[in-house]
Amino acid sequence: MTGMFFHAPEAASLSAVTEMAISGEMEASTAAGAAALTATTPMVPTSDDAAFTAALNSAGAGYMAASQAHVAQRTGYAGAQNLSSLSYVIQELMSATNVNNLI
């Protein structure tokens, strides 16, 4: 193919699969640690321990939210890569079959 830009659909698709695999691993590891991150309990029934426990649980919830947002962004990126590959392949097929002359 000649032109200023070159697109390798197989490379983009492989990258999309890799992104989805990483997203799945991140989701699984975050889910596995969810209880440890958000369900801490005070060691001693004092107001200091209760406040510290609340801070730990809040920080854990913030981490989980950030992790979920990151996974969503990776998943969206993988979807865009797949769409790009599919669009390129369809465009190349249309060019190869000279669809404009058939319509």
Burial class (CB in 10 A: 0-12, 13-18, 19+), 41: exposed
* C-beta pairs of 23-32 under 8 Å, 24+ apart in sequence: 23/71, 23/74, 23/75, 23/78, 26/67, 26/70, 26/71, 26/74, 27/67, 27/68, 27/71, 30/64, 30/67, 30/68, 30/71
pLDDT tens for each residue of the chain, 103 residues long? 455 667 788 899 999 999 999 999 999 999 999 999 999 999 999 999 999 999 999 999 999 999 999 999 999 999 999 999 999 989 888 888 876 666 6
pTM, rounded to two decimals: 0.75
Q: How much is the pLDDT for 34?
A: 92
